[in-house]
């Protein structure tokens, strides 16, 4: 078996995990799964009422609502979180925005919104987390990107580039932080049934439930993987497509989504 690239995380009991984007979908399922495993779960997203309702009756969970577009709101909630719990052991960036877009409906405003939530929001979170982790010489950063970041996919004109940027950043971050005792993992899900994908008008192959996505992430962290991609029956094809010559790749896209 290959050497793990990160310190494997197999026991979640007592681990403090901060999930940004935990009010629905993959982030919420992950919060639930980690709580079941005995982690202390700190949840963030914009909808305070949803987060607070989830935390009621769940011992060891706390809500820190904010909008990732708002650096001041983030700084305020981060300061509060650190005072109340100290720095988290693991931070998961699960916040995301997706609107299908093709060239006929090209919109700068939508591209800016995707960039702000998916990429700049992540950068705002990293700006507060990285110094704290560097000071401690430990911690783990998990970024939920997408297989849409591998190569250009139809309908992902606004979304795909933000995920490609995120995945690229994760590799550089791993290089910089690994030797400093800090883990970095890149999560590349295929299709997962969440409010984000509910708007897709087409058939989504190998569609997973959010709880299955959470299971896959825990399996990947337990193995100390850098890239955690799932389900393999779908993602392996897309990973393979990265190596196709452009002419063949564009031909196949034309067949799939003219």
Among 7, 15, 58, 67, binds ligand NAP (CB under 6 A): 67
Q: Which of 63, 65, 25, 28 is nearest to 47 (CA)?
A: 65
* 52 binding ligand NAP? (CB under 6 A): no
Report the nearest approach of ligand NAP to the CB of residue 76 (Å).
Answer: 14
Among 16, 97, 151, 229, binds ligand NAP (CB under 6 A): 97
Q: Which stretch binds ligand NAP (CB under 6 A): 62-70, 80-88, 233-241, 248-256?
A: 62-70
Among 6, 23, 40, 185, binds ligand NAP (CB under 6 A): 23
Residue 29 has φ and ψ, to the nearest 5°, of: -60, -40
Q: Using CA atoms, how far apart are residues 36 and 49, in angstroms rounded to an integer?
A: 22
Q: Which stretch binds ligand NAP (CB under 6 A): 5-13, 32-40, 67-75, 225-233?
A: 67-75
Secondary element (H or E) of residue 211:
helix 210-223
* 165 binding ligand NAP? (CB under 6 A): no
Q: How far is CA 145 from CA 38, 87, 98, 115, 117, in A?
A: 26, 23, 12, 13, 12
Q: At what angle do helices 121-136 and 71-85 cross, to 10 degrees?
A: 30
What residues make contact with ligand NAP under the rule CB under 6 A?
Answer: 21-27, 45-47, 50, 67-69, 94-98, 117, 144, 146, 189, 191-192, 194-197
């Amino acid at each position: 078996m290959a050497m793990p690239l990160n310190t494997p995380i197999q026991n979640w009991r007592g681990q403090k995990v901060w999930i940004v984007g935990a009010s629905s979908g993959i982030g919420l399922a992950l919060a639930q799964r980690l709580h079941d495993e005995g982690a202390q779960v700190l949840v963030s997203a914009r909808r305070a009422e949803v987060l607070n309702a989830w935390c009621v009756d769940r011992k060891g969970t706390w809500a820190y609502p904010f909008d990732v577009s708002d650096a001041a709101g983030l700084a305020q909630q981060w300061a509060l979180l650190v005072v109340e719990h100290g720095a988290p052991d693991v931070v998961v960036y699960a916040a995301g925005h997706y609107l299908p877009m093709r060239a006929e409906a090209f919109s700068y405003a939508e591209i800016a919104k995707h960039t702000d939530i998916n990429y700049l929001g992540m950068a705002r979170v990293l700006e507060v987390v990285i110094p704290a982790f560097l000071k401690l010489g430990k911690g783990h950063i998990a970024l939920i990107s997408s297989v849409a970041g591998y190569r250009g996919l139809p309908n992902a004109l606004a979304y795909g580039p933000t995920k490609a940027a995120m995945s690229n950043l994760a590799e550089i971050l791993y290089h910089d932080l690994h030797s400093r005792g800090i883990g970095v993992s890149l999560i590349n899900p295929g299709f997962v049934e969440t409010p984000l994908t509910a708007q897709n008008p087409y058939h989504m192959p190998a569609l997973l439930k959010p709880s299955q996505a959470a299971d896959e992430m825990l399996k990947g962290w337990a193995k100390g993987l850098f890239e955690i991609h799932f389900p393999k029956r779908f993602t392996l094809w897309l990973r393979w497509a990265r190596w196709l010559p452009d002419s063949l790749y564009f031909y196949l896209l034309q067949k799939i989504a003219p």
